[in-house]
Amino acid sequence: MLTAPLRIFLSSFLILFLEVALIRWLPAQIRLLSYFSNFILLASFLGIGIGALLGRVRRSLFVWYPLLQLAVIAVVYFFRLEVRINAPGSIYFTSGTSDPVTAVETTLLLPVLFVGVAALFATLAQRMAKEMTALPPLRAYTINLAGSLAGVAAFAVASWLEARPITWFILAFAVTLPLLWNQRWTTSTIAAILCLVVSGALVADMQRGTIWSPYYKITVKTQGRETVVEVNNIWHQSMAPVGSKEYFYQWPYMVFGDTFKDVLILGAGSGTDVAAALLHNVGRVDAVEIDPAILRLGAQRHPDRPYADPRVYQVADDGRHFLRTTEKKYDLVVFALIDSLTLQSAFSGVRLESYMFTEESFRAVRNVLKPNGVLVVYNYFREAWLVDRLANTAATAFGEEPMVHVHPAKDQLGVIVVGPRLRTLTNYPEPPSEVTAYNQGAPLAPPVRHVRDRAIVPATDNWPFLYMREPHLPSHYTSALAVVLIVSILAVFGVVRGAVHKWSWEFFFLGAGFMLLETKSIIQFALLWGSTWVVASLTIAAVLVMALLANWTVAHVEVRRPRLVGAVLLALLALNYVVPVGTFAIESRPVESLVYSLLVFSPIFCAGLLFGSSIKRSEDVTVDYGANLLGAMVGGVAEYLSLLMGFQFLLILVAVFYAAALATRKTTAV
């Protein structure tokens, strides 16, 4: 028979582990979800909150969890959902797959997924809340946080080991079994186990032929001498002899000759850009690629064997982190078809390559160039305004005019060249009119010299949304998020009776501030470590550690001056505003990580102190928790204002929320 503390630990572990697993798994299967930052996070948070509010209801909902999990997985398995979005002023990438899919023409599918995921977590959280009532509140909450921390840590390890989804769901199944067992076999227990087994079978079938790196779901297909790599169901890159690929791989050497000694390739991928450099007799190539699985595939399958050359040094690292910490200088830096494939740089898609195309990133490149170095960026840009953005960014960062040409008939294939070496040229060569791509012929696509539109604003670390023409909130975001808020309001007020009459604005603002602070921290902290699922899990773990420390402090120390704590919180938010993540580099990565962790997550500790001291004074915990939950949903939705105002604005909004919480705090405590 499991003890109450162990049951709390296991249920808390299961909730956080499954939450992070679904946050990763669902967007990898349904492309649309990667465009909606923190959407699954919000759904799970609402479900967890509603389940906690239902903790004292006698009828257990836990028995429905296996069926709901099966329903969510079955919808993904059988319908292969693909949403088509037509949004002027933004670029969206559908999968482009030739496999059968169910096309959905509206983002109103999102509320359906939202409700399904929320219901799933409500069943789990109600079980956890029931178990927590057996212990004193602070002790139960401490065990809850410890279990949550263990769940997130377990997923980080699974991601680091490149475990596939079936491993995740087997672990979740193993944790669920002790919670399902009630000392005798019943029909409901057998049905629940059967649902979990079928869920696992569907997941296993969907993952056939895939690799789950710390970054992507990867599918590899071989077509003759070409090996195609798809990530999250989207065509990503191909491995074929570099002589049969597009000319832009060799363009830097066609322009400047075989004059480069030290070359840095960012986003080296499977190695075609590396092969082009080796073909032109470079002295050394530093090939930086964040995904170790992609590097391995290149080493194993690229026909030119670029990674076997002793001149090549593989670096499995985030490009921005490498630029910030390297002491080497380069003759040539190449942005090797780096492509974020998403609109939103956020946790649900865990895709932050847009940070590679900001002013700060281009300045970092300028700093690692030799006095006669050059940066080359090439890609299929799809829209002329995207070429304008990057050209404007290069001009701003380097303080000189870049040389830019595009092939409008070939998806705006463009090449941007900027840097001191450009000034040494007397004649810039004419690009070819035909664009050869492996196994695709050489269609006529005459190049044109691109004259940049200076009105297109560059991306920055504060506003890194590369694929938005200008800051705005697309209408489909507005409609989907409005439905999410309506569902949240109905759920909270439907569960919390008397909430209208006992409403606490203090707890509402505390919830809004905390959720916005948490999601903002998760999103931007990847700028420091790189955007992998290991990093994302560790970032959530850091949030939980701060909450655990705050809970321990509240349990042992009376917070008698909450306004002083609030003042410290506001001061820390101001410091984060002035010193964003990545502002300065520290040679030691552990020391750098520690410094920025303290900077970013210390406000969360103060926020935990305020919440803990308030909940101890609560006259009606259920109503106050309901207000806190609804505030958290508003804070999570408010994160989308970053599309309009940038990420730093969110810190101002967090400060406003906490100032409002302090202003509405009851005066019984000083």
Q: Cα-atom radius of gyration of the chain, to the nearest Å?
A: 26
User: Strand 226-231 relative to strand 217-223: parallel, antiparallel, unpaired?
Assistant: antiparallel
Reading across the β-sheet that carries 210-212, which strands appear in turn? Answer: 210-212, 217-223, 226-231, 234-239
Q: What percent of the chain has pLDDT over 70?
A: 88
Tell me the mean pLDDT in the region 23-50: 81
Dump pLDDT digits (tens) for 628-661: 999 999 999 998 898 899 989 999 999 999 999 9
Reported as a pLDDT band with limits 50, 70 and 90, residue 346 is: very low
pLDDT of residue 166: 96
Task: Tell me the sheet residues that pair with 414.
Answer: 379, 406
Q: Which residues contact 206 (CB under 8 A, 6 or more apart)?
A: 29, 76, 77, 165
Q: Which two tokens stand for residue 446?
A: 């005459």
Lowest mean per-residue pLDDT among 2-11, 106-115, 644-653: 106-115
Structure confidence at residue 528 (pLDDT): 65
Across the range 375-399, mean pLDDT stands at 93
**Which pLDDT band, with edges at 50, 70 and 90, does 531 fall under?**
low
pLDDT tens digits along 126-173: 999 888 888 887 788 888 888 999 998 899 899 889 999 999 999 999
pLDDT at 156: 87
Summarize the confidence of residues 582-602 as an average pLDDT: 76
- What pLDDT score was predicted for residue 344? 36
Per mean pLDDT, which range of 167-181, 219-233, 308-322, 626-640 is the poorest? 219-233
pLDDT tier for residue 175 given thresholds of 50, 70 and 90: very high
pLDDT of amino acid 84: 55
Question: 234-239 and 262-266: which strand pairing?
Answer: unpaired
pLDDT computed for residue 455 by the predictor:
93
CA distances from 77 to 71, 129, 580 (A): 10, 31, 41
* Residue 94: predicted pLDDT: 54
Share of the chain above pLDDT 90, in %: 46
Mean pLDDT of the chain: 85
Residues in the chain, how many? Answer: 670
